[in-house]
Structure 1
Amino acid sequence: MHRKTQGVIYESIARILEEHDINIEKIPVSDEIKRIANELVDLSKNSRHLYKELIVCESNTNKDMEDAAHRLFGDGINWEKIALFLHFAASCYMAYTRGDIVMFVRTVASYFERFHIQEWVENQGGWEALLKANSTAIALGALGAVCLGALIIGGVMYNRRRRK
């Protein structure tokens, strides 16, 4: 990862932590990592029925991602489904695509527009609502999702400006 990008991410995380009065030094990191891991395992167990339906093959990644989005968001949107979709999309990229990251982010951003996910997030109070609604441990675990969400939102905004 480029040093400038790392700096921007670290500054964003520090700002979010500061805004929510989260002092990282007060949190025993090893305990929190174990706790977050346990919560992710529980989430994974609860989401397994959804994830089993999300099957992808190398030759048709974009179509498979679109099918996954239809299956996940066809009956509604929630934070769990958003996290699951982002995880699935990242897994597809790491396993099969590993190509043009800008194009990949545009593809994921298009699903956020098409399925009105960004609109739902804004109606919930934005990405920061995810941090406010959960405990400190979950909030720290959610920072990755928030940062990815910010990148996707930035990609959407960039695409909109570019089209005009």
Structure 2
Amino acid sequence: MDKFLNYLARGIMITSVCFSAHTMAAEALPAIAETQITVDIPVKLKEAKVLFNMDHIALAGDLPVGMKYMDLLNKKMKMDETLGKIIGIFHGSAAFMTLNDQSYNAERKVTTGNPYKVLIEGLIASGVQIEECAVSMKGHHWTNKDLLPGVKVNSGAIGRIIQLTQEGYAQIQP
């Protein structure tokens, strides 16, 4: 029985270590991990124009994946001195993520305020342009007053995505 428990404990420890290493961001890995990974294709962008098509909710735990990717890419671009711009376009079932606290509470029938507010404000403060779709707003009877400060309104997300793609933006669909 002791042998079985020893194997079980060892397995749990190995699984825990693997899970912990897997979930850490590459730039946050300890120095020892750098000696275990050989990068065959280094990526350092001179310029990047990126749009994030935020039309649905994809979460990793409670964290919206698209917003996390916007933040990570923005930090990487600043670190590498990459020229360019990141634009997050919110519409469809993810449109509510840009609402101010009062409007979020009314829309979602809660009293907690917008849990994405800090993420959105942080992205805007760091230079990411956040846009909301006017078509989605009309469908929900929202006005510009319902949005978080700094969120810009485009005339329609689909047309805007086409426009930015034609201007050379790469589209990320988280």
| Structure 2 length-normalised TM | 0.29
Question: Greater CA radius of gyration, 1 or 2?
Answer: 2
Instruction: Please identify which structure carries the higher strand content.
Output: 2
| Structure 1 length-normalised TM | 0.31
Instruction: Please identify which structure carries the higher helix content.
Output: 1
